[in-house]
Amino acid sequence: MRFGANRVFAGAAIHMTILDFLALGLSLTAIAVIAVYTLITGAPPMPSGRRARRVAVDLLAGRRDIAELGAGWGGLAVAAARRWPAARVTAYERSPLPVFCLWLRQKLVGPDNLQVVWGDFLRSDLTGHDGFLCFLNREVMVRLSTKLTDLQSEASLVSIYFELPGVTADETRKIDDAHRSALFHYRLRAGGKGRASGPDADKMQPAGGF
């Protein structure tokens, strides 16, 4: 009996070891995927703070078709979909692991008005959206600013931390949180033009197309 029990315990130990190796392998694969796409996109999928999300989403009151650009884990998109259930919300993300987690979350627990898109928003047709949320970086904001003239109607853009280059925000909010977040709210006209800043304002308006 003792010999048989030892075999059972040994088998269990081997089984747990295999599970441990599988867990380790999956963890390392996930880290590698995130690292590769961080190099590709120039920014890791960092979540925004809860207070910043709440204020950013509230600034898009009345918008019917909202997009989070570079959604990462989708905190802003989920918050917007829950805050404005009558609006359609789309989350664009390139990195496969965050977008899969967000897609799975949406399928399991909603919200139903959230759509998850795996792809580069800079190469997507965004002209149907009238509200944008983003937590990007300076380099990507520069690329985004060159895309805004393709807008066919007025829209609102709310950015966490980073400003559109050469354009003065219509509203700036400072958030009293651990990240000392700043929100920049732009009311963009058709063609993607806001209130340009500086003496060469006309030359600094966004140019290009989505």
How many domains are contained in the chain?
2
The pLDDT value given to residue 152: 81
Instruction: Tell me: do 54 and 36 sit in the same domain.
Output: no
pTM for the full predicted model: 0.73
The pLDDT value given to residue 16: 55
Give the type of residue at 210. Answer: F
Position 118 in a domain: yes
Instruction: Tell me: do 27 and 65 sit in the same domain.
Output: no
| Nearest to 67, CA basis, from 156, 140, 162 | 156
Instruction: Tell me: do 147 and 97 sit in the same domain.
Output: yes
**Cα–Cα–Cα angle for 122, 125, 121, nearest 5°?**
25
The pLDDT value given to residue 182: 93
Instruction: Tell me: do 75 and 156 sit in the same domain.
Output: yes
Instruction: Tell me: do 99 and 180 sit in the same domain.
Output: yes
**In which domain, by residue range, is 23 found?**
1-41
**Cα–Cα–Cα angle for 169, 62, 117, nearest 5°?**
85
Instruction: Count CB neighbours of 58 within 10 A.
Output: 14
The pLDDT value given to residue 205: 36
Position 210 in a domain: no
Read off the CATH number of the domain in which 194 is found: 3.40.50.150
The pLDDT value given to residue 67: 97
Position 112 in a domain: yes
SS3 helix, strand, coil % of the chain, rounded to 5?
45, 20, 40
Instruction: Tell me: do 125 and 158 sit in the same domain.
Output: yes
Position 148 in a domain: yes
Position 131 in a domain: yes
Position 150 in a domain: yes
Instruction: Tell me: do 21 and 57 sit in the same domain.
Output: no
Position 209 in a domain: no
Instruction: Tell me: do 167 and 135 sit in the same domain.
Output: yes
Instruction: Tell me: do 170 and 110 sit in the same domain.
Output: yes
The pLDDT value given to residue 117: 96
Instruction: Tell me: do 25 and 73 sit in the same domain.
Output: no
Helices (H), the chain: 2-41, 50-58, 75-83, 96-109, 138-145
Position 73 in a domain: yes
Instruction: Tell me: do 149 and 77 sit in the same domain.
Output: yes
- Tens digits of pLDDT across the chain (210 residues): 454 555 544 454 445 576 555 554 444 444 544 454 455 555 555 566 889 999 999 999 999 999 999 999 999 999 999 999 999 999 999 989 899 999 999 999 999 999 999 999 999 998 999 999 999 999 999 999 878 778 888 999 999 999 998 889 999 999 888 778 899 999 998 776 665 444 333 333 333 322
Instruction: Tell me: do 34 and 77 sit in the same domain.
Output: no
* Three-state DSSP class for residue 2: helix
**Residue 142 burial class via C-beta count within 10 angstroms: exposed 0-12, middle 13-18, buried 19 and up:** middle
